Amino acid sequence: MLIRFRRGWELPESAATPEHVFLKRRALLKTALAAPTIAAAGSILTGPAFGQTEVAADDPTAKLYPVKRNERYVIDRAITDPSQPTTYTNFYEFGSQKNIWRAAQNLKLRPWTVRISGMVEQEKTIDIDTLLAQMPLEERVYRHRCVEAWSMAVPWSGFPMKALVDFARPTGSAKYVVMQTFQDPGMASGQRQFWYPWPYVEGLTIAEATNELAFLVTGLYGKPVPKQNGAPLRLAVPWKYGFKSIKSIVSFTFTDKRPVSFWEQIQASEYGFWANVNPQVPHPRWSQASERVLGTGEMVPTQLYNGYGEFVADMYKGLEEERLYV
């Protein structure tokens, strides 16, 4: 008898199109015909019928979007339908299943402050809305590659992380920036799981943080970024596996010591500090040579640095002894 064991990252056929999206397709067509939405150049019609939740009533940033797209960053595939990234996502603070988007609606967006500390000229705490008012918002379409071997291509809105680093004014001794998410087990049920090393922590070198691709996300599909996707502030580093893109950031700490990130604490042999995408370096439990594109089921070859080598490869010269691709 043949017994097939499903791998943890596989999406079952029944999940290819979420049921609520399927049932609402007629309503979507009626709405689109009756009152078409005109967004900024290249932005996509979005809304609950696509699987994305309504813009949260407690998110005052809706007026900021859509923003102009930066055409420097192009991709080799179609933009993923919004129903997929907004209903199939990892956010362990709210649970370990992919369909955590409902639970993530418990995330309270205001008040929200961001703490900047460590090796900086002056430590400070700033309200998220005050911070956004000082940042150059734009839209970028990036590929996103999860370590679980699925991928998507989405239009993020936000600002270059270099702008945040410049705002923080780190000293010359700082070599790394450590990011941390919120910690509130009363709000986020996943944080009640004591075997995880909460809060979620991630880190980049200063060179990585100031690379032109490093992007702090505040929006998605021409609207404020949904709660389940890391509102109100998350990271996008498209040449790295997705677990490096920390969600719901509350602090940036500049230091001369390399941090140990959340997943690195759990299993360093599988989820290392660098986590650069490489199809030739398999995960211990599956190949990284190809990836499943969300919403299509198509398997496509994975590219070194997720196809962004021209922007980032030079940062890793001389580091060949490091485990750059884990």
Share the mean pLDDT of the chain: 87
pLDDT above 50 (res 17): no
| End-to-end alpha carbon distance in the chain | 36
Beta strands in 149-237 (DSSP E): 150-160, 176-181, 201-205, 215-220, 223-224, 234-236
Give the bridge partners for 155, in sequence order: 141
Could you tell me whether strands 201-205 and 234-236 are parallel, antiparallel, or unpaired per DSSP bridges?
A: unpaired
Q: Which residue type, as a one-letter code, is found at position 118? A: G
Cβ neighbours around 219 below 10 Å, total: 27
Residues whose CB is less than 8 angstroms from the CB of residue 306 and which lie 6 or more positions away in sequence, other chains included: 143, 145, 238, 239, 240, 277
Residue scoring higher pLDDT (12 or 306): 306
Burial class (CB in 10 A: 0-12, 13-18, 19+), 17: middle
Instruction: Give the strands of the sheet with 249-255, arranged side by side.
Output: 124-127, 113-118, 249-255, 176-181, 201-205
DSSP 240-304: BBGGGS--SEEEEEEESS----HHHHHHTTTS-SS-B--TTS-BTTB--SEEEETTT--EEE--G
276-315 residue pLDDT tens = 999 999 999 999 999 999 999 899 999 999 999 999 999 9
Q: Which residue type, as a one-letter code, is found at position 306? A: N
112-144 residue pLDDT tens = 999 999 999 999 999 999 999 999 999 999 999
Going by pLDDT thresholds of 50, 70 and 90, the confidence category of residue 47 is very low
186-233 residue pLDDT tens = 999 999 999 999 999 999 999 999 999 999 999 999 999 999 999 999
- Cβ contact 53:226 at 8 Å: yes
Looking at residue 265, its pLDDT comes to 97
Q: Which residues of 276-293 are buried (b: 16+ CB within 10 A; e: fewer)?
A: bbbbeeeeeeeebeebbb
Find the helix or strand (DSSP H, E) in which 164 lies.
helix 161-168
- Cβ contact 181:262 at 8 Å: no
Mean pLDDT throughout 63-85?
96
Mean pLDDT throughout 146-157?
98
Report residue 107 as tokens.
């995330």
Mean pLDDT throughout 250-270?
97
Cβ neighbours around 272 below 10 Å, total: 18
Q: What percent of the chain has pLDDT over 70?
A: 82
pLDDT above 50 (res 51): no
- Cβ contact 271:92 at 8 Å: no
pLDDT above 90 (res 241): yes
Q: What percent of the chain has pLDDT over 90?
A: 80
